[in-house]
């Protein structure tokens, strides 16, 4: 943990929404998120729409939202890739707490204050939602459940990690931690989350696993087979870089 971090009542929180071709989803998501944050988060906050490579009207809709709401910002990133978007926004941010969530809000927003508490009150370095930790409530297809459990079992086998769910799109990190770890992360796409957590544990960062309620989005843009292949290749790359943690 990082007890020297300056996290106080003046803490500012960034909530990043990486988006690609989400012209229909972005407005209801942002408005729902604004309503939740206004009622449930005591810290200062801002929503950052990280538009990475969209070719529809996502940018125009997002720009309109920034005009309507002073605490909504838009950053346009020419190339696709969730990891690329998070790297840029987090590295350039001056806020003390940096977070992100998937645009479909599959993870119940009620868990967001727990992410913040883990960093601000408990002094963890990273907080991550988990669909596999005890107490999580998940609604998703058997295929995705099987692949997720298999993937995370492989991670634990290769690296003896303690976190339970590498891929949940619901995470928060301190600015200090982000500045330290992001230069070490090579992936710019979906494997970014896994690499963040594996490297984090390997260099001694403290990670808080938070069981969440999660509903599968039937309109998910993730292409399962290519993503699985890239993820496995990423794990093999990290396996040679970071040895197993001691039992």
The residues annotated as belonging to the active site are 193
Task: List 215's β-bridge partners, or say none.
Answer: 139
Can you give the chain as a three-state secondary structure string?
A: CCCCCCCCCCCEEEEEEEECCCCCCHHHHHHHHHHHHHHHCCCEEEEEEEEECCCCCHHHHHHHHHHHCCCEEEEEECCCCHHHHHHHHHHHCCCCEEEEECCCCCECHHHHHHHHHHHHCCCCCEEEEECCCCCCEEECCHHHHHHHHHHHHHHHHHHCCCCCCCCCCEEEEEHHHHHHHHHHCCCCCCCHHHHHHHHHHHCCCCEEEEECEEECCCCCCCCHHHHHHHHHHHHHHHHHHCCCCCC
Question: Taking a C-beta distance cutoff of 8 angstroms, is the pair 89, 75 a contact?
Answer: yes
């Amino acid at each position: 943990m990082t007890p020297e971090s300056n996290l106080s009542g003046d803490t500012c929180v960034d909530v990043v929404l990486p988006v690609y071709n989400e012209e229909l989803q972005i407005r209801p998501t942002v408005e729902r998120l604004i309503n939740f944050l206004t009622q449930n988060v005591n810290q200062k906050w801002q929503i950052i729409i990280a538009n990475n490579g969209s070719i529809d009207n996502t940018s125009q809709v997002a720009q309109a939202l920034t005009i309507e709401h002073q605490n909504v910002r838009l950053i346009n990133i020419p190339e696709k890739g969730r990891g690329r978007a998070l790297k840029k926004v987090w590295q350039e941010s001056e806020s003390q707490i940096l977070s992100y969530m998937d645009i479909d809000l599959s993870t119940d927003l009620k868990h967001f204050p727990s992410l913040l508490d883990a960093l601000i009150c408990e002094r963890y370095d990273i907080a991550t939602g988990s669909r596999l930790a005890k107490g999580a409530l998940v609604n998703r297809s058997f295929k995705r459940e099987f692949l997720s459990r298999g993937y995370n079992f492989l991670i634990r086998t290769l690296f003896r990690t303690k976190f339970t769910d590498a891929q949940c799109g619901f995470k928060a990190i301190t600015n200090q931690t982000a500045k330290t770890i992001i230069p070490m992360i090579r992936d710019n796409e979906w494997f970014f989350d896994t690499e963040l957590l594996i490297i984090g544990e390997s260099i001694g960062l403290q990670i808080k696993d938070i069981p969440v309620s999660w509903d599968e989005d039937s309109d998910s843009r993730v292409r399962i087979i290519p993503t699985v292949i890239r993820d496995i290749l990423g794990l093999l790359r990290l396996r040679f870089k970071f040895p197993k943690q001691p039992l």
